[in-house]
Amino acid sequence: MKKLIYLTLIAASVISCSQPTKTTQNMNPFFETYSTPYEVPPFDKILNAHYLPAFQEGMKQHAADIENIVLVTSAPDFANTIEALDRSGELLTKVSAVFFNVKEANTNDSINSIAEEVAPLLSQHRDAIVLNAALFAKVKAVYDHKESLQLNPEQARLLAETFKNFVRGGANLSAEKKEELKKVNEQLSLLELKFDKNLLAETNSYKLVIDKQEDLAGLPENVVAGAAEQAKADGMEGKWVFTLQKPSWIPFVTYSEKRELREQLYKAMYNRGNNANENDNKAIINQFINLRLQKANILGYESWSAYVLDNTMARKPENVYALLQKVFDPAIVRAKEEVADMQKMVDKEGGNFKIESWDWWYYAEKVRKAKYDLDEEQLRPYFELNNVRDGAFAVATKLFGLTFTKLEDMPLYHPECEVFEVNDADGSHIGVIYLDYFPRESKKGGAWMTNYREQKTSADGKNIRPVVSLTCNFSKPVAGKPALLSYDEVETFFHEFGHGLHGLLSQCTYVSIAGTNVSRDFVELPAQIMEHWAAEPEVLKMYAKHYQSGEVIPQELIDKMNKAGKFNQGFVTSEFIAAAFLDMDFHTITTPGETDLNEFEKKSMEKIGLINEIIPRYRPTYFAHAFSWGYSSGYYSYIWAEVLDADAFNAFKETGDIFNQDVAKSFRTNILERGNIDEPMKLYLNFRGKEPGIEPLLKNRGLL
C-alpha cells in the first residue's frame, strides 16, 4: 500500500510564529542541511521537542513563499506562479515527512500529542493557500492562457493539476462557503488521528493468554515458540500469548484445533473499535461520514464518492460498482463451493456444527492439505526474510539493472531497520531505501511504502534523489530461528517493494507530480505487478532456499504451489470485494444523519449476497483504509489496478521471457519514471499499446 500520511502542502499559513533564534536553529536538525550520508534524516539527533518548532517555522516560511508569489508585480506566468508554488514550503515538507512517517512506525504518547496539536494548524495552513483569492487569481490567469505558453508536457500537466487542486480545494467558493469548508477540514484532520489512535490501542489491548499445553493442539512449533516469547516479554513466562497482530492471530485461527479459542481470538480481531469503550470508533465514523458528505456538498458533489472519484481513473461511483460486481459474481459462486468442501470435512470428522467465519481459515487449510498435499508450514523454511528481500532485489536487478548495497552505521528511527543504497546499471545513484520488518506496539498494523524525501529537480537543475521506506509487520524470528515468512508475507514484501521502485525510479522535474503522486487507482499497478514475479518458478529458484541447508525449493513444492495457487480464491476475492462495496456504500450516502454501523454493514452485505461464512476483510470500526489512510472510496483501487497489472504482466509473458529487456525498459520509462506527468491511461497505453480487459484478472484468480 502506498500510504498518504501527511498533508499535501500546496497551501500556506496565516499563522504567525516568532523567528527562531540562532541558538535554537543550531540545536534543531530540521533547521540545517542534513550532514548525514545521502542527506537522510538524522534520526539519532532528532528529538520530539524539535518537531513543533520546526512545524511552526516551516509554516511561517511557507507562508512567506506564498506571499512572495502573490506580491510579484509582473504578469503571472508558469515560472513565477506554478513552478514557484511547486518549490515552496521546503522546510515544512522536510519536517512533515519525518514526523508523520515516524508517527506511523514508532509512535509514543509525546508524538501523538504533537500530532493532535499540529493537525488543525496544518489544516488551517493548507486552506489559507488553497482559499487565497489573490493566489488563485494568478494560478487561473496562467491556466487561462495555457495554450499560448509553449509548455512542455510535464509543465502542462503540473499547470493542469495545480489548477484542479485549487478548484477541488474550494478556490471558487463564496467567502461564506470557504469558512464552512475550513471548519470541516479541521475537524476531519483530527478525526483521522483519533481513529488511528483508537485502533492501535484496541489492537494492543487484547491478548489471548493460554496456560495449558493441551490448548496449543495443532499449532506449529514456530507459532508456539513465538507465543512463548510474547508471553515472556509481557511478564508471563511459562504461558503463551497470542495478539491481534497478523503474524500471531492468522496462524492461530489457521492451525489451532481448539474451536472455541479460534472463535475467541477471531471475534476479538473483528470487533476492534466496536466494543463500547474509550476506543470505540463508531461515533468517529459517523462524524467522518457526515463531515465528508458536507464537504462534498460544499464543493458541488452529491456524495463523498462522487467527489473523490472525479479525480481518479474510475471517474464515477457507478463505474466502481460495475467493476466490483463483475468480480464478485463469479467469486461468490466459487466461495459457496469452497464452503461445501469444508462442510463435508466437518461432517466427515463428526463435527456436528455449521461452518462459521472463524472456522474458514482452519478448514480451508485442511482442505488444501487434503487436495494438494500442501501445508503453509512446508513453505516457510524456504522463505527466510533475508532471502526474500534479496530475491526482490534480484528481480529489480534483472529487470532494470539496479544494484542494492547495504549501508552500515546509518541513522535509524528504530534499531530493527535496515538501509540500502540503490544504484543504476551505470553505477549512478538512484536513491536510498529503509526497510522495517516486524510488529511492535508503537507501529500500526499492515504494510506500506512512503517517502522521507521525494524525487524532484531543484531550481539549479540538480536531480534530487529519493529516500523511501517500506514498513511491514512480518513474522518475527523465534526460538533461535531467523524470520520465516508465510507466502502471503512474501507477496506483501514484493508488493511494497513495487511501490518502492515507483518512488525510487522517478525521473520528474516537479515534486507534486513525481514518483507515487498519481491517482489512487493507478498507484497500485507498480506494486501489484511485482507480486507476479514472486510466484514464478524461475524467480522462486532464485530466492526460495531452505534456511538451514540452503537447498533451493524443490520442483515438487513449486508444482504443488502452482496447483494450489487458485485455491480459496472465492473466499479471498469475496472478502476483499465485500469491503470495497462497504467502503463505497458508506461514501455514497447522500443524506446526513446517524448511521447504525452494524445494521448498515449487515444490509450492505445482504444486498450483494455475501454468505454468512464470510465477513468483509475490514469491518467499519477497523477499516483504516476507508477512514484514515487515504483510501476512502478508494479501496476498490486494488482490484482496479489488478486489471492493469494482470494485463501488464502478460506483456512479459507473451514474449516468453519474464525478464524481457525491451518490455522492462518500456515499463520503466513509461510507468515507473513518469510519475503523474500524463493521464494514467495514456501512460498505460504508451507502455501496452491497448486498454486492458478484466479477463486476465479473473483467469489469474481462477474465477473464469
What is the distance, to the nearest Å, from the Cα of residue 324 to the centroid of all Cα atoms in its chain?
A: 20
Enter the DSSP assignment of 383: B
The CA distance from 198 to 180, in Å, is 27
Question: From CA 362, how far away is CA 351, in angstroms rounded?
Answer: 13
The x, y and z cell numbers of residue 354, run together, are 455449521
Taking each helix axis from N to C terminus, what angle separates 221-233 and 246-255, rounded to the nearest 10 degrees?
140
DSSP string, 653-692: HTTT-TT-HHHHHHHIIIIITTTTSS-HHHHHHHHHSS--
Residues forming beta bridges with residue 467, ordered by sequence position: 432, 453
Please, what is the Cα angle at 519 between 701 and 144, to 5 degrees? Answer: 150
Between the alpha carbon of residue 553 and those of residues 325, 477, 565, 566, the distances in Å are 38, 20, 16, 20
Q: Of the listed 161, 384, 491, 496, which one is catalytic?
A: 496
Sort strands 240-242 and 208-210 into parallel, antiparallel or unpaired: antiparallel
Residue type, position 303, single letter: S
Of the candidates 357, 376, 356, the residue with the CA atom closest to the CA atom of residue 365: 376
**Count of Cβ atoms closer than 10 Å to residue 295 Cβ:** 19
Q: Is 346 helix (H, G, I), strand (E, B) or coil?
A: helix
Sequence-distant (6+) residues with CB within 8 A of 697 are 327, 639, 642, 643, 646
- Contact assessment for residue 208 and residue 268, using Cβ atoms and an 8 Å cutoff: yes
Q: What is the DSSP letter of 405?
A: E
Q: Please write down the HEC assignment for all residues of 596-643.
A: CHHHHHHHHHHHHCCCCCCCCCCCHHHCHHHHCCCCCCCCCHHHHHHH
Q: Which of 15, 62, 16, 7 is nearest to 189 (CA)?
A: 7
Strands 208-210 and 456-457: unpaired
Residue 333 CB neighbours (<10 A): 12
Q: Which cell numbers in the block locate residue 63?
A: 507562508
Task: Report the distance separating Cα 128 and Cα 378, nearest Å.
Answer: 57
Residue 356 is among the residues annotated as catalytic for this protein = no
Cell of residue 127, nine digits: 486552506
Angle at 305 between CA 303 and CA 310, to 5 degrees: 105
Cα–Cα distance, 191 to 127 (Å, whole number): 17
Burial annotation 416-452 (CB, 10 A radius, 16+ → b, else e): ebbbbbbbeeeeeebbbbbbbbbbeebbbebbbbbbb
* End-to-end Cα spacing for the chain: 27
Q: How many CA atoms lie within 13 A of 140 on its CB side?
A: 12
Q: Which amino acid is at 458?
A: S
Residue with cell 514474449: 655
Nine-digit cell at 504? Answer: 525510487
Which residues are part of the catalytic machinery? 496
